[in-house]
Amino acid sequence: MAGCANQGTTGGSTETAASGRVNLPAATSVEVPANAVLPAGDGKATCPAGLDIAYIGAETGANAQLGINIYNGVQLAIDQHNEANPGCQVNFTKFDTEGDPNKATGPVTQAVNTESIIGVIGLPFSGESKATGNIFEQAGLVHITPSATNPDLTKNGWKTFFRGLGNDAVQGPAAASFMTGPLEAKTVYLVQDDSDYGIGLGTTTTEALGDALVGSDKVITGQKDFSATISKIMNAKPDAVYYSGYYAEGAPFDQQLVAKGYTGTFVAPDGVKDDQFIKLAGDASENAYFTCPCTPGELIPEFQKAYSAAFNAEPGTYSIEGYDAATVLLSGIGQGNITRPDLLKWVTGYDADGLSKHYKWDSTGELATPAVYGYRVLDGKIVLTGVIG
């Protein structure tokens, strides 16, 4: 249902650039479920004072923008709920992890020890989610991640962890078929970083590429010089390079790759799909396509208008997923689920449309019907190309 409900419509036609890269046209709209649950509800919610929803994740750090996109989506949902429901005012508490697994346990411990917090949005990244899942589980505190995609996160037996998007077992094969199908890459070189996210996605994409994979290499978080890897790529002459990691390293990698004369396509996942990538990579970013299990919030008029008015910026990657995840919790509170056990039970049995997709989880915390989308950089902006898996 989610894949069908969010099919993009496109204009123009596919062309091949002089470099051999394929220019896919931009999609101009997505279909939004007619019965999407919204934060305002019916305006009749009542609840006691002093209830908190928390965001736990990066607000600072090298890849902070992905966290900020989510944080803003949550903030918008809570503001709309509180404005419409004077009898149920929900507080918003924030904890910064810097996106670092080694720093995440402190903020999570602080949150679970704060009795007023009955639900959490986060954590955004797979490594920090892995490091903290047991803390949430022991406290019985429900948390919905809008963006952590490592498949193993739902194999831990946690009953408090829910993923608000498709995982990398879905994104990896979709990325492979995107490259070898619409992007017409006969050969692909894959580079992955050392994060749990990069390793997990690199593994599933490698398996799906099969014989199209002509080489692979590894880089590390914080790396600045990619010349050794780029030398291997130039020798392999691939049609496409797939980078499995985050934008902080993906941007200089692509910039250096283009500077060395690479004229193929650069493809990267949701961890790289952010305007900060364009800012850091400069003109080199025009060769970039992205895969992402995220819905383009900027193409949902109702959400785009409210988000832009609130933050003087366009919705970013996972802004709409943060908004929808907060809505799931807020709707539960509005229905009288005002304790941790009750709100956990509410999310476990949830079955309704959000603006971005249908939210219904299986017993492991995975969505039943995730979709994956293709995006590209076009004239200095990230635009949707359509559903790819």
pLDDT (tens digit per residue) in 243-253: 999 999 999 99
Q: Which of 249, 273, 244, 268 is nearest to 69 (CA)?
A: 273
Contact predicate 51/116, CB 8 Å: yes
The per-residue pLDDT for 19 is 55
Contact predicate 92/81, CB 8 Å: no
Place of tokens 């608000």: 164
The per-residue pLDDT for 56 is 98
Q: pLDDT of the chain along its 389 residues, tens only?
A: 233 333 343 444 444 443 568 999 999 988 888 899 999 999 999 999 999 999 999 999 999 999 999 999 999 999 999 999 999 999 999 999 999 999 999 999 999 999 999 999 999 999 999 999 999 999 999 999 999 999 999 999 999 999 999 999 999 999 999 999 999 999 999 999 999 999 999 999 999 999 999 999 999 999 999 999 999 999 999 999 999 999 999 999 999 999 999 999 999 999 999 999 999 999 999 999 999 999 999 999 999 999 999 999 999 999 999 999 999 999 999 999 999 999 999 999 999 999 999 999 999 999 987 889 999 999 999 999 999 98
Instruction: Compute the distance between CA of residue 213 and CA of residue 210 in angstroms, rounded to an integer.
Output: 6
Bridge-based pairing of strands 143-145 and 161-163 is: parallel
The per-residue pLDDT for 12 is 41
Cα 36 off chain centre by: 20
The per-residue pLDDT for 18 is 38
Q: Which of 260, 210, 262 is nearest to 239 (CA)?
A: 262
Instruction: Compute the distance between CA of residue 20 and CA of residue 108 in angstroms, rounded to an integer.
Output: 48
Instruction: Compute the distance between CA of residue 1 and CA of residue 222 in angstroms, rounded to an integer.
Output: 39
The per-residue pLDDT for 224 is 96
The per-residue pLDDT for 200 is 94
| Cα angle for residues 226, 101, 285 (degrees, 5° grid) | 35
Say which residues have a Cβ less than 8 Å from residue 106's Cβ, sequence separation at least 6: none
* DSSP-based three-state secondary structure for 84: helix
Chain segment 171-184, per-residue pLDDT in tens: 999 999 999 999 99
Q: Which of 264, 198, 203 is nearest to 234 (CA)?
A: 264
Contact predicate 206/187, CB 8 Å: no
Say which residues have a Cβ less than 8 Å from residue 292's Cβ, sequence separation at least 6: 171, 269, 270, 273, 317, 372, 373, 375
Q: Would you mind telling me the total number of residues written for the chain in this entry? A: 389
83 CB neighbour count, 10 Å cutoff: 12
- Token pair of 245, please? 């990691």
Cα 312 off chain centre by: 21
The per-residue pLDDT for 369 is 72
Instruction: Compute the distance between CA of residue 355 and CA of residue 320 in angstroms, rounded to an integer.
Output: 7
Amino acid at the residue 177: S
Q: Which of 200, 227, 293 is nearest to 3 (CA)?
A: 293
Instruction: Compute the distance between CA of residue 300 and CA of residue 378 in angstroms, rounded to an integer.
Output: 19
Instruction: Compute the distance between CA of residue 230 and CA of residue 55 in angstroms, rounded to an integer.
Output: 38
